[in-house]
Amino acid sequence: LFADLKRNARGQPLYLRLRRVIEDAVDGGLLGPGDALPSERDIALQADISRVTVRKAVSDLVKSGVLVQRHGSGTFVAPRVERVEQSLSRLTSFTEDMARRGKTVRSQWLDRGVFAPSPDEMMVLGLSAKELVVRMARLRIADGTPLAIERACLSASMLPDPERIGSSLYAALEETGYRPVRAVQRISAANLTGQDAELLEVPPGSAGLRIERISYLASGRVVEFTRSIYRGDAYDFVAELRLS
């Protein structure tokens, strides 16, 4: 793929030529979604160019969303995202939503622990200063594609040890008898930047959706306060409207 790069560059800067070669390989199907790109070193050797040049071409392609970089595992052709159509009228969990579509869910824990509640958490969750909160942050992945980052806080009294929460929060709440039955959800626009963009494998500045959910028990007690960032290129939220 890269052997004749220099010869075919014809005066073009080499990083632009390399960028074009990779783009053509992706467009022409030679490199498919999810395929690994050879290492920086191998490309530099094959094309007989410097690693700095390779790095520049690759980082341009990451910025434009053609390639994605995963820490520790390399650079890949960005997976094609199938948009998820998500109903706004049912209280379901991420795991249930994806299972219904036949997708395999994996969550990467970013953070979890038990803490003294902040004033905001005390207010939203209705806790006293003596009670504790569980905070958990997860990257939610379906069929290998990262779709959302979810940061939840809940009263520690409703959950087992956070280390023992499996892949589904709602399944854990079902077990402790605190599965919520109602929620208020707020959706607003956000641009994905920094670490969020990196985790979601989208170019910095891409469109995202900020989703806040406060869910309740039948008694009116608050269960969770979750702040999430969803990929804008992966979700359609759909609600049925009736004349009432």
CA distance 208 to 189: 6
Q: Under the criterion CB under 6 A, does residue 135 sit at the interface with ligand GLP?
A: no
Q: Under the criterion CB under 6 A, does residue 145 sit at the interface with ligand GLP?
A: no
Q: Is there a contact between 155 and 136 (Cβ–Cβ < 8 Å)?
A: no
Query: Which residue from 208, 228, 229, 235 is in contact with ligand GLP, where contact means CB under 6 A?
Result: 228
Q: How far is the CB of 240 from ligand GLP (least distance, A)?
A: 19
Q: Under the criterion CB under 6 A, does residue 121 sit at the interface with ligand GLP?
A: no
Q: Is there a contact between 235 and 208 (Cβ–Cβ < 8 Å)?
A: no
E strand or H helix at 185, and its extent?
strand 182-191
CA distance 76 to 98: 24
Q: Under the criterion CB under 6 A, does residue 224 sit at the interface with ligand GLP?
A: yes
Q: How far is the CB of 197 from ligand GLP (least distance, A)?
A: 19
- Hey, what are 41's tokens? 């070193």
Query: Which residue from 5, 37, 226, 229 is in contact with ligand GLP, where contact means CB under 6 A?
Result: 226
CA distance 217 to 215: 7
Q: Under the criterion CB under 6 A, does residue 225 sit at the interface with ligand GLP?
A: no
- Binding residues for ligand GLP, per CB under 6 A? 93-95, 150, 152, 168-171, 211, 213, 224, 226, 228
